[in-house]
Structure formats: structure tokens, C-alpha cells
Structure 1
Amino acid sequence: MPGSLRAVSAALAAVACLAAAPGCGEASQARDGTVTLGFVNGASTEFHQCLQQAVEREATTRGARVVSVNSRQRPEQELANIESLIAQRVDALIVQTVDVEQLRTDIARARAAGIPIFLTSVMPDDLGGILGAVTVDQYQIGALDAGWVSNDAVGRPRTLGVIAGAPGAASDQVVSGLKSALPANVKVVATQPGMYNRGRAKAVAAAMIAQHPTLDYAFVANEDMAFGAAEAFRGSGKKVKIVTVNGTDEGLAAVKDGRFAATVANSASALGEKAVENVLDMLDGGRPNKITRAPMQLITRDNLTDAPRYCGA
């Protein structure tokens, strides 16, 4: 067996033993030497698609194989996906969770099988059971958008509506960070989930502006939903300033032409690439940081050229 693969087997065996799993060491001995990563994606938004492309591209570049599955925003499907990948005897799991509460069960299943689990975007409070994570500071994303609103409102009484994503994971943290950082003069008058769906977000925005016709601002948890919200606000004849999240090419164009006031750019590609890099390095016996924070930046018309690449090589 080549030296690098011996290191992989040793690392996997060590993780399994640390987990005190039954049959410690048996899984690594049964592998045929090909490193296979299981990637559990959370949904099919542009973020999730770009994340998966980056994971698969980086793994191929590094000579590893990826089996990708999608939980479609359902916690029970996430667990079923993890159990399926465990049954396929993957060498490690990379998980973009749909529900932070679900992570406890996910991690327990992986530990019991002696398979390292690595997370993207969010992480549990207890880091002892995971191989590592590449995360986005979701609270800071919300705080950055809240900072723009605060500076724009400059102490005047203003109202804001929140169109969240799907309950349970990253969206909850972003909204919490936003609300915590808003100044006292900006009142949140409505909060509804858009479920990362443009059509649903448009309907939510239409109902929101009908109920609050003097709405000043809207925070929308991703740019795809923000386009739907913008259509609804324009259709009502109301001028609502939208702050959002992603930094896609289309989103940056909307910032440039004024449909969005600001967006928080964070690269889905960089997140996926770093996750694979760290997982494979750890399996080879390397010691990259267990937790890596992905960069992010508030983007307005004034600094559009500073936005990082969102998707693609």
C-alpha cells in the first residue's frame, strides 16, 4: 500500500477508536485504497449548486471520488442520506446541514460507524465529535446587513421586514445576527420564511407590503428570493430598500442598478474547495485548522469590484 494511503487508513482508524465505536479499525481495513467522500448537500439553490460543484471539482483535482446526495431541506432525508453513505463505506462525510438540531444525530451515526464527519457553513456547539468544519459566520452576515441599514436610517424611525430562508439552520443564525445588530430606531414589523424559493418569497413580500405599506427596508436571506421580493415591491409601487446575501453575478448586477441596496458576498466555491482540501489533508495525517472561517464582505455600489468570485473555478 502506498504511504499516503497507509496514512489515510491510520487516520481513519484513529478517529474510529476515539469515537469508541464497536469494531474499531475494521472499516479502514476493508477499504480498497480509493478515497471516497460522501457529500450531503442541503438544498438546490444556487449556493448549494455552486458548493457541490466546488466539492466535486476539488476532489477530482486531488484524486478523490465524491458521492453526492441532497436532503432537499428535510432533516429526516439528511439522516437517511448519511445512513446511505455509511452503508456505502465512504471514507469521510462532508455535510451541509439543513437543521443544526439534526447534527447531533448525524454526528452520532457517523461516530458509531467510525467515519469522520466534516461540516460546511455551520457547526455544533460541541466540536468533539467532528473532524472539522469550514464555516461562515452566519451571525456576522446578518450584522453586516444590519450595519448598512443602521447607517442609512441615521437615527430616524424606520421599519424592516424579514424574509428568512428555511427554519432550522443557517437562516435562523443570519436572522438572529441581523435582529441583534439593528439599532433601536429600526423596528422589525414582520418575519416570514421564503424557504429559499423565489416565487414564495415574492408572495411573502406582496403580503408584507400590503400589511405594512410604509415599509422602509427588507432583509431577504438570499439573492434569489430577493429578486422575487423586489418584483413584489415594484408591483406595489412602493420603494423598499433590500439587503440580502450571496454575491452572485446577478446579485452584484442588482446592487449596481439599485434593485438591491447591499449584499453580503461569501464565496460558495471557496467554501467547498476548502472543505475538501482540509478533509483530505486531515485524512493524510495533516493538521490544518479544525475550524476555518470563510471570508465575507458587505458589498454596495461603492465597492462592487471588491466582491469575491462566487461560483466556478
Structure 2
Amino acid sequence: MLTVVLAGSAALTGCSLKEPVGQSGAVPAAAASSGGAAEAIVAEGPSLEGKTVGIAAKDILHDYSRVIYEQLQDDVEARGGTVIATQAEAQDSKHVTDVENLIAQRPDAIIVVLGDAQTLTPALKKVDEAGIPLFTVDFQTEYSVNNVTSDNWNVGTTLARTLAEDTGGEGKILAFNGFPGVAPCRIRYNSLQLVLEDYPGIEIIEPELQDKYEGTIEDARRQIDDQLRRIPDGEVDAIWSCWDMPLIGAAQAVDGAGREGIGLYGVDAEPGALDLIADPESSYELTVAQPTDEIAASSVSNVALFLDGREDEVSTTSYVDPIFITKENVGQVRSDLGI
């Protein structure tokens, strides 16, 4: 099968997100060869000549979504297919409309990138009823032939364990939790809650913070500024988010206020987050990169296999290796992956 197996999972069963990269800061071989793996996936498998593939992305507002959206189109065209591409500018209602418009154009397959389960599921049911094969990226649904994703349970629990260890198992944390309907965020947040059951000395400060898609960085900075004015120095030990964008604003607030001892933990390896992690003076500690080229290549490969009548070679879920980035290895990761 063209499932990208999470080869590093055994290494991640340790307690810290810092362990998979080793003490030397070396990047795992699977991570370092990410671009080559994606090229190999694109080069192999059947053509999409004469096929049309619809692509509906929730947004291209942050680097992860934008790169996948662009790479999906490139990979379909590299296989000889025709693309109908839409992106909903982070508007759930437009995302639904985009999917319904694709149905009306009768493509041979549809790929949906991210989305809110509550609002989007009825539209995906219509895709299924129309007999159009549905493929998803970071969106688990009963109507999808295949979903390509990182192992978000693995990412979420490892991220949470590292936060817990770095705080010594004691203290208070601020958590952004604005997207319970977005599967990766829901899984990562549930993983945080699960891990913290074994760290009763860590408390999530209530009320939790609500991040948003548009104006994310500035809004998060304002929220953290407000929290830091309210909460005395030394009473916040970490800030958690399921993605990097809020934490870029949070780091600006924390560093600008001169508050020490607050570590920031996120996911996606946004360029702005990597810049902060590379800064020894910044509070941003960790992020997790998801190899967008492999994600896109795997999704398009599965579409091609399915449309070629090779459904038995397409698994329900395809996983890609996460890449864990710390202050110790950020320079090496950026060099090896060109990010």
C-alpha cells in the first residue's frame, strides 16, 4: 500500500518530544529525505491522464494549508490530470459551498483539505451520494476513501509529555482551544488532557483561550498581553496550542513583557515559529513539522490508484512521519529540509 508508515513511532514512545532527534540534534533519516520520498511517490503509480480532480481547501492563510493546496495541484498535473481548485478563505460556509459546486462539475474525484466536521459533513455526504470518490487531508470522515495525515495522537501526546516534563510536572499553563471541530486540533487537545491525567500537578488556567483563523497572531498577542497583566509573574509556566499561529503572537507578548520561565509548544513549523525557536532569547520552545510534500503526494497517489481500479491498494488512512523541532536541532532541520 502507498500508506506512508510512521516509521519513527517506536522512537516516540519515550517520554520527551526531544528524544526522536537525539542529543546531537540530528534529523531522522525519514525526515531528511522527505523531499526525495515525495518525488518518488509522484514518479510511481498510474497516470491521471483524462481525469479531473476537484480540490477544496478550507484556507491558505497559514503556510501548512497553502503549501499542501499548491502541491496537490502540482502533483495532479504532474500525473497528467486536470485540476479544479477552490479555497474558502477560512469561511466554513464558503467551504461547504465550494464542495457543493465541485459536485455539480462532476470531477472524477474530490480532495478536501481540512474543515469543520459539524458544518462540512452534510456536504461530504452529498459527495458520497453523487458517487464521486472523496479523499481528505487532515479530515477524518466516514465518507472519505482515504485520509492523509500525521499521526496526531502521537504528535499530541508527545508534545504534551514534553511540556509536562519541561515544567517538572508542576505549574499552570494557558491553552488555546478554539477549534474542537477540526480533527487535528481536537485530537491534539484530547491528547493534552489525557497526558495531564498523569501530571496532576499541572493545571490548565480557566477559561481556556479561544484562537481564531483570521488575524490570529495579533489576536493571540492581545489575549496573552491581557493574561500577563492579570496573572502575576511566575504563575504561568507554559502556553499550548494545536498550531503555531497563535503562539507566534503569544511569543511576541511573552518576550515583549520580559516574562521568563514560560515555554511555548505548538505544531506546524510555520516559518515565523521557526525563526522564534532559532532565537535563543525567545520563549518558543518546540514545534512539529508535517512534511507537506509527502502529504500531498500520498493523497494524489491514492486518488490515482483508486481511479485506476486498484482500490485494494488504498488504505483508509495514510500517515506521514512528523518532524520534531527544538531549539537544539532547528538549524539542522531547516538546513536539511530547506524550510
Give TM-score scaled by structure 1 length. Answer: 0.80
Preserved contact between residue 55 and residue 85 of structure 2 (Cα < 8 Å): yes
- 2:154 aligned with 1:135, yes or no? no
Give 1:246's match in structure 2, choosing from 268, 273, 279.
Answer: 268
Give 1:236's match in structure 2, choosing from 251, 254, 257.
Answer: 257
Once the two structures are TM-superposed, the CA of residue 146 in structure 1 deviates from its matched residue by 0.9
CA RMSD of the aligned region, Å?
A: 2.2
Q: State the distance in 1 between where 2:53 and 2:91 align.
A: 21
- 2:132 aligned with 1:119, yes or no? no
Residue 177 of structure 1 is matched in structure 2 by 191
Moved more, 45-54 or 74-83: 74-83
Moved over 4 A (4+): none
Give 1:261's match in structure 2, choosing from 285, 298, 306.
Answer: 285
Relative to 1, partners in 2 of residues 1:249 and 1:295: Cα closer, same or farther, differing over 3 Å?
same
SS of 1:130 mapped into structure 2? coil
Residue 323 of structure 2 is matched in structure 1 by 297
Preserved contact between residue 99 and residue 124 of structure 2 (Cα < 8 Å): no
Residue 71 of structure 1 is matched in structure 2 by 88
Preserved contact between residue 167 and residue 193 of structure 1 (Cα < 8 Å): no
Quick one: which amino acid aligns to residue 200 of structure 1? D
Task: After superposition, give the CA deviation of every residue in 1:87-135 in whole Å (9 maximum; x if it has no partner).
Answer: 11111110123212334313310122111111111312x3xx3221112
Preserved contact between residue 58 and residue 95 of structure 2 (Cα < 8 Å): yes
Q: State the distance in 2 between where 1:140 and 1:146 align.
A: 10
- 2:70 aligned with 1:53, yes or no? yes
Moved more, 49-58 or 105-114: 105-114
Give TM-score scaled by structure 2 length. Answer: 0.75
- 2:107 aligned with 1:83, yes or no? no
Residue 4 of structure 1 is matched in structure 2 by none
Quick one: which amino acid aligns to residue 203 of structure 2? K
SS of 1:246 mapped into structure 2? coil
Once the two structures are TM-superposed, the CA of residue 65 in structure 1 deviates from its matched residue by 1.7
Q: State the distance in 2 between where 1:253 and 1:73 align.
A: 25
Residue 238 of structure 2 is matched in structure 1 by 217
- Is there any run of 5+ residues in structure 2 with no aligned partner, and where? 1-48
Give 1:203's match in structure 2, choosing from 222, 239, 242.
Answer: 222
Q: State the distance in 2 between where 1:310 and 1:71 align.
A: 28
Residue 35 of structure 2 is matched in structure 1 by none
Residue 94 of structure 1 is matched in structure 2 by 111
Moved more, 132-141 or 79-88: 132-141
Relative to 1, partners in 2 of residues 1:204 and 1:310: Cα closer, same or farther, differing over 3 Å?
farther
Preserved contact between residue 97 and residue 103 of structure 1 (Cα < 8 Å): no
Once the two structures are TM-superposed, the CA of residue 250 in structure 1 deviates from its matched residue by 4.0
Preserved contact between residue 194 and residue 204 of structure 1 (Cα < 8 Å): no
Task: After superposition, give the CA deviation of every residue in 1:265-296 in whole Å (9 maximum; x if it has no partner).
Answer: 21223212211111112111222323101221
Moved more, 48-57 or 212-221: 212-221
- Count of residues in Structure 1 that have an aligned counterpart in Structure 2: 275
Q: State the distance in 2 between where 1:231 and 1:252 align.
A: 13
Preserved contact between residue 141 and residue 264 of structure 1 (Cα < 8 Å): yes
Give 1:277's match in structure 2, choosing from 286, 290, 301.
Answer: 301
Preserved contact between residue 111 and residue 134 of structure 2 (Cα < 8 Å): yes
Percent identity over the alignment? 21
The structure number with the bigger radius of gyration is 1
Preserved contact between residue 51 and residue 272 of structure 1 (Cα < 8 Å): yes
- 2:140 aligned with 1:144, yes or no? no
Once the two structures are TM-superposed, the CA of residue 306 in structure 1 deviates from its matched residue by 4.8
SS of 1:302 mapped into structure 2? coil
Quick one: which amino acid aligns to residue 304 of structure 2? L
SS of 2:309 mapped into structure 1? coil
- Is there any run of 5+ residues in structure 1 with no aligned partner, and where? 1-32
Q: State the distance in 2 between where 1:85 and 1:105 align.
A: 14
Quick one: which amino acid aligns to residue 205 of structure 2? V
SS of 2:176 mapped into structure 1? strand
SS of 2:53 mapped into structure 1? strand
- 2:186 aligned with 1:162, yes or no? no
Once the two structures are TM-superposed, the CA of residue 249 in structure 1 deviates from its matched residue by 4.3
Moved more, 254-263 or 83-92: 254-263
Relative to 1, partners in 2 of residues 1:207 and 1:140: Cα closer, same or farther, differing over 3 Å?
farther
